[in-house]
């Protein structure tokens, strides 16, 4: 079921990802560095280093960093730690991002500073992780976004990258670290608590974005990098992030959001190698979104784009199955405008089919994957691996696909948390035959429909759920009393004020069915069908 409170992100065309002009504008400011030394916020040595570096040519700055890189990073971190003025914090962040754009390898300088301070017993506040994590809590979006980008690069460049995390459920390090945490320097990654905090912040941005148009792309872009690490996949899964991907993927299948779709697919693909994530992905609706993306892909990304490789054998696999990721992936396969998106979507679908017990094949068939594979197989592709993936997926579907009964299909759709206008929702025969099954497990499915009315942000899901609750009232002999006892009438009346006209109409009709006695309801339905 869709997670309550998940932000309904709508993909919108964004400016080109290169924010060089924005950084240049920030760096055109004149900062009174002497004031901060007078206020004892920075030391004299920090002032001298900043003066020597600021407003210099790129060649001179590179030379200074080659000569005394850690000293300059320490001076910049001191400003970020001690100065609260927004303009100055933004300036230093822009300066650091400009430095890493010129030479990404300089991210290692941050760790030299941190390790030097730790070895000397220095203040932990100058730890680059601590400094940047604090900046994520600032109010202005520029500071949040640039701190997020910096932190992503610093984490990706950490010296202990690849070391397991000790406190992640299911991590191999938990068994390896038989002694107290920290009793051995090689027991795990010392950055684990900081990365945990960062992943939780990123999940928070997916749920409740600070910026309505930029938070989600920024967070997904960071996750696409961080999830290359096996241990970070465990952190993201533990933080409840897997269930956030499917609704995002379904919202960005248009041509203006191909980069976001690609990075979400990249996250899904990387998570598909982590067993605790697979069950949630398979049930989240992602397969459908992936198929939609693949349906309309138009150009190729060279194979060399995949500079990092995941293990050929799936080492991990259990959360993708309850999040409906399969359906989202199908949507992606249908509508992608770029071959790089198609490729990673197909790879994700292949991994989901690699675990038959997840039941993802039926989701893919319902989402129309066989037809998409046949259509795509007739195209010419610049990436020679795509035809092989299309053929392999077609064969796997033939082996695994199971035809579900109409009730099983309906139940699966409702539990996925995303509803569509399939024939079952309006079929009189379906409702007459299956309305008694709503009584199973103390009306579990009816309770899920009512929960969707309360928490879903998708207008189509709300309209279909209103329809289905109304159908239950119409066909169940005690439907109006059961729905009223479960607060269904209040939820419907609230939706009568919804901005979407179809939701208003469906909720009004459902309220009428709840309030009218059986004889008057039958008369109203007979009159409406006669009209």
Residue 355 C-beta-side C-alpha neighbours within 13 Å: 27
Q: What domain count does the chain have?
A: 3
Do 332 and 434 reside in the same domain of the chain? no
Burial of 497 (0-12, 13-18, 19+ CB in 10 A): exposed
Nearest to 321, CA basis, from 203, 461, 416, 411? 416
- pLDDT value, residue 352: 87
- pLDDT value, residue 321: 46
Do 105 and 44 reside in the same domain of the chain? yes
- pLDDT value, residue 41: 96
d(Cα 52, Cα 72) in Å, to the nearest integer? Answer: 10
- pLDDT grade, residue 253 (50/70/90)? low
d(Cα 499, Cα 515) in Å, to the nearest integer? Answer: 23
d(Cα 157, Cα 103) in Å, to the nearest integer? Answer: 12
Handedness of CA 234, 235, 238, 242 (dihedral sign): negative
Q: What tokens were used for 520?
A: 């008057």
For residue 17, report the phi and psi dihedrals to the nearest 5 degrees. Answer: -60, -25
Look at 116 and 344; give whichever has higher pLDDT: 344
Pick the range with the lowest mean pLDDT from 6-10, 148-152, 292-296, 445-449.
Answer: 6-10
**Does 146 reside within a domain?**
yes
Do 344 and 441 reside in the same domain of the chain? no
d(Cα 103, Cα 52) in Å, to the nearest integer? Answer: 19
Handedness of CA 284, 290, 291, 292 (dihedral sign): positive
Report how far apart, in Å, the C-alpha atoms of 99 and of each of 22, 102, 236, 291, 371 are: 15, 5, 29, 40, 49
**Does 416 reside within a domain?**
yes
- Structural contact between residues 351 and 395, judged by C-beta atoms closer than 8 angstroms: no
Mean pLDDT of 104-111: 95
Do 443 and 471 reside in the same domain of the chain? yes
- pLDDT value, residue 255: 62
d(Cα 195, Cα 128) in Å, to the nearest integer? Answer: 12
**Mean of all residue pLDDT scores within the chain:** 82
Which of 158, 186, 219 terminates a domain? The answer is 158
Look at 117 and 307; give whichever has higher pLDDT: 117
- pLDDT value, residue 17: 46
- pLDDT value, residue 516: 82
**Does 369 reside within a domain?**
yes
Query: Domain of 476: which CATH number?
Result: 1.25.40.150
Look at 476 and 399; give whichever has higher pLDDT: 476
Residues 6+ apart with CB under 8 A from 371: none
Mean pLDDT of 485-500: 94
Look at 35 and 519; give whichever has higher pLDDT: 35
Look at 317 and 411; give whichever has higher pLDDT: 411
Which of 404, 425, 449 terminates a domain? The answer is 404
Report how far apart, in Å, the C-alpha atoms of 84 and of each of 24, 98, 134, 237, 509 are: 21, 21, 11, 34, 55
- Structural contact between residues 292 and 335, judged by C-beta atoms closer than 8 angstroms: yes
Do 41 and 122 reside in the same domain of the chain? yes
- Structural contact between residues 360 and 285, judged by C-beta atoms closer than 8 angstroms: no
Do 472 and 452 reside in the same domain of the chain? yes
Q: How far is CA 445 from the centre of its chain?
A: 26
Query: Does the pLDDT of residue 194 top 90, yes or no?
Result: yes
Range of the domain at 46: 19-158
Do 147 and 35 reside in the same domain of the chain? yes
- Residues 121-171 have pLDDT tens digits of 555 568 999 999 999 999 999 999 999 999 999 999 998 887 788 766 544
d(Cα 205, Cα 391) in Å, to the nearest integer? Answer: 38
Do 390 and 520 reside in the same domain of the chain? no
d(Cα 372, Cα 350) in Å, to the nearest integer? Answer: 15
**Does 234 reside within a domain?**
no
Report how far apart, in Å, the C-alpha atoms of 484 and of each of 198, 442, 461, 463, 509 are: 43, 15, 21, 19, 15
Pick the range with the lowest mean pLDDT from 164-178, 245-259, 478-492.
Answer: 164-178
The partner residues of 291 in beta bridges, in order of sequence, read: 333
Do 372 and 488 reside in the same domain of the chain? no
- pLDDT value, residue 184: 40
- Structural contact between residues 365 and 371, judged by C-beta atoms closer than 8 angstroms: no
Q: What tokens were used for 60?
A: 């001179």
Q: What tokens were used for 434?
A: 């299956």
Do 446 and 339 reside in the same domain of the chain? no
**Does 316 reside within a domain?**
no
- Residues 32-72 have pLDDT tens digits of 999 999 999 999 999 999 999 999 999 999 999 999 999 99
| Strand, coil or helix: 81 | helix
**Does 226 reside within a domain?**
no
- Structural contact between residues 135 and 90, judged by C-beta atoms closer than 8 angstroms: no
Map tokens 């066989």 to a residue.
Answer: 370
- Structural contact between residues 470 and 425, judged by C-beta atoms closer than 8 angstroms: no
Which of 131, 158, 185 terminates a domain? The answer is 158
- pLDDT grade, residue 315 (50/70/90)? very low
**DSSP notation for 283-347:** TTTHHHHHHHHHHT------GGG--S---SS----SSETBS-HHHHHHHHHHH-SSHHHHHHHHH
Report how far apart, in Å, the C-alpha atoms of 461 and of each of 288, 464, 465, 488, 506 are: 15, 5, 6, 16, 11
**Does 222 reside within a domain?**
no
Pick the range with the lowest mean pLDDT from 108-117, 280-289, 317-326.
Answer: 317-326
Do 91 and 103 reside in the same domain of the chain? yes
Do 25 and 124 reside in the same domain of the chain? yes
- pLDDT value, residue 221: 96
Look at 311 and 219; give whichever has higher pLDDT: 219
Percentage above 90 pLDDT, the chain: 50
- Structural contact between residues 492 and 453, judged by C-beta atoms closer than 8 angstroms: yes
Select, from the ranges 137-141, 162-166, 242-246, 405-409, the one with the highest average predicted confidence (pLDDT): 137-141
**Does 181 reside within a domain?**
no
- pLDDT value, residue 444: 93
- pLDDT value, residue 354: 86
d(Cα 295, Cα 342) in Å, to the nearest integer? Answer: 8
- Structural contact between residues 352 and 360, judged by C-beta atoms closer than 8 angstroms: yes
What's 8's DSSP letter? -
């Amino acid at each position: 079921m869709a997670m309550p409170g998940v932000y309904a992100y709508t993909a919108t065309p964004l400016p080109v990802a290169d924010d060089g002009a924005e950084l240049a504008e920030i760096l055109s400011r004149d900062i009174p560095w002497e004031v901060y030394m007078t206020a004892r916020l920075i030391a004299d040595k920090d002032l001298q280093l900043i003066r020597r570096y600021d407003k210099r040519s790129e060649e001179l700055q590179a030379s200074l960093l080659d000569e005394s890189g850690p000293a300059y990073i320490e001076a910049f971190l001191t400003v970020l730690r001690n100065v609260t003025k927004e303009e100055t914090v933004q300036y230093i962040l822009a300066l650091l991002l400009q430095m890493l754009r010129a030479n990404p390898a300089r991210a290692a300088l941050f760790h030299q500073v941190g390790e030097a301070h730790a070895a000397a017993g220095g203040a932990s506040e100058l730890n680059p992780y601590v400094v940047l994590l604090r900046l994520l809590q600032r109010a202005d979006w520029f500071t949040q976004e640039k701190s997020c980008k910096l932190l992503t690069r610093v984490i990706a460049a950490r010296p202990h990258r690849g070391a397991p995390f000790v406190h992640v459920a299911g991590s191999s390090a938990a068994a390896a670290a038989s002694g107290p945490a920290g009793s051995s320097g090689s027991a795990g990654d010392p950055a684990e608590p900081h990365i945990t905090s960062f992943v939780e912040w990123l999940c928070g941005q997916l749920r409740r974005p600070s910026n309505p148009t930029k938070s989600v792309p920024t967070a997904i872009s960071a996750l696409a990098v961080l999830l290359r690490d096996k241990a970070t996949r465990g952190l993201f899964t533990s933080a409840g992030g897997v269930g956030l991907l499917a609704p995002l993927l379904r919202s960005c299948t248009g041509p203006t959001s191909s980069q976001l779709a690609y990075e979400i697919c990249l996250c899904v693909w990387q998570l598909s190698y982590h067993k605790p994530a697979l069950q949630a992905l398979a049930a989240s609706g992602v397969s459908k979104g992936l198929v939609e993306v693949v349906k309309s892909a138009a150009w190729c990304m060279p194979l060399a784009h995949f500079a990092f490789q995941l293990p050929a054998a799936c080492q991990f696999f259990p959360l993708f199955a309850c999040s409906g990721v399969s359906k989202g992936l199908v949507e992606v396969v249908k509508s992608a405008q770029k071959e790089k998106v198609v490729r990673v979507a197909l790879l994700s679908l292949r991994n989901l089919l690699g675990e038959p017990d997840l039941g993802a094949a039926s989701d893919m068939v319902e989402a129309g994957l066989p037809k998409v594979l046949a259509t795509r197989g007739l195209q010419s592709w610049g990436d020679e691996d795509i035809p092989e993936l299309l053929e392999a997926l077609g064969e796997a579907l033939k082996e695994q696909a199971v035809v579900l009964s109409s009730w099983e299909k309906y139940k699966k759709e409702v539990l996925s948390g995303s509803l569509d206008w399939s024939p079952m929702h309006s079929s009189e025969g379906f409702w007459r035959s299956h309305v008694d099954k709503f009584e199973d497990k103390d009306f579990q499915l009816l309770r899920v429909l009512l929960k969707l009315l309360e928490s879903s942000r998708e207008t189509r899901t709300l309209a279909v759920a209103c329809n289905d609750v109304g159908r239950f009232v119409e066909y169940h002999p005690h439907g109006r009393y059961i729905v009223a006892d479960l607060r269904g009438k209040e939820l419907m009346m609230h939706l009568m004020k919804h901005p979407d006209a179809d939701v208003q109409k469906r909720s009004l009709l459902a309220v009428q069915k709840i309030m009218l006695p059986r004889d008057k309801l039958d008369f109203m339905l007979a009159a409406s069908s006669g009209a």
